[in-house]
Amino acid sequence: MSTSIDDLLGFEEEQPAQEGAARGGRVGGALRTLAVAGALTAVVVAGLRTVGLQLSLWVVVAGVLALLAVRRVTAALAPPPPPRSGARIAAGEEDGHYHWAARDALRAAINGWERPLDWSAGNPRRFAERILPRLGELADERLRQRHGLTRESDPVRARALMGDRLSAFLDTPLRRTPSPRDLAVIVAELERI
């Protein structure tokens, strides 16, 4: 018996196993359904007789078969379960499409800023209530991570590290909502901390 290198390195896709064949075929599935229906019918009839009710056996059988049929149809039409949050992601190349249903931390972060910025556009009071505290938290976090202080713990040094423009922006009440260009300058100064 001789085998060539082409035979060893050749690749043929395996045909996916038939789902019905893995479960015993149609006859096995029908017998299993009838057995479950018989068991459920016996339980329902016994339960009804225990409480003193009588119902035609054919009505109970029809009801149980209808419930099993509804269960099978809903199981077939149900969407696949969402991936577990702790599940490992398979290694390999991505398919190149954005998966909108996936939990995306970047999308959540963008939405966390986009909506309040949109909502407060043109309203200085809303901007001062919603956006300024977030920018202050960002400045404090950058100061804490890079220099071991916050604006509250060491205001003089924090002001020197942040610069006059950023400090004034965060500390003084606004008379108007800053333009996107002004916000870009503020964000650049935040990144420089």
Does pLDDT of 70 surpass 50?
yes
Query: How sure is the predictor about 20, in pLDDT bands with cuts at 50, 70 and 90?
Result: very low
Does pLDDT of 47 surpass 90?
yes
Does pLDDT of 9 surpass 70?
no
Does pLDDT of 89 surpass 60?
no
- The two tokens of residue 95 are 């398919």
Category of 52 on φ-ψ map: left (φ > 0), alpha (ψ -120 to 50) or beta: left
Question: Which residues are CB-neighbours of 116 under 8 A, at least 6 positions away?
Answer: 130, 131, 134
Q: What is the pLDDT of residues 115-133, one digit of tens each?
A: 888 888 888 888 888 888 8
Cβ 61 vs Cβ 37: under 8 Å:
yes
Query: How sure is the predictor about 66, in pLDDT bands with cuts at 50, 70 and 90?
Result: very high
Predicted local confidence at residue 153, as pLDDT: 92
Looking at this protein, which amino acid is placed at residue 119? W
Report the alpha-carbon distance of residue 152 to residue 158 in Å, rounded: 8
Report the alpha-carbon distance of residue 151 to residue 36 in Å, rounded: 69
Instruction: Report the candidate in 165, 172, 160 with the shortest Cα–Cα distance to residue 187.
Output: 165
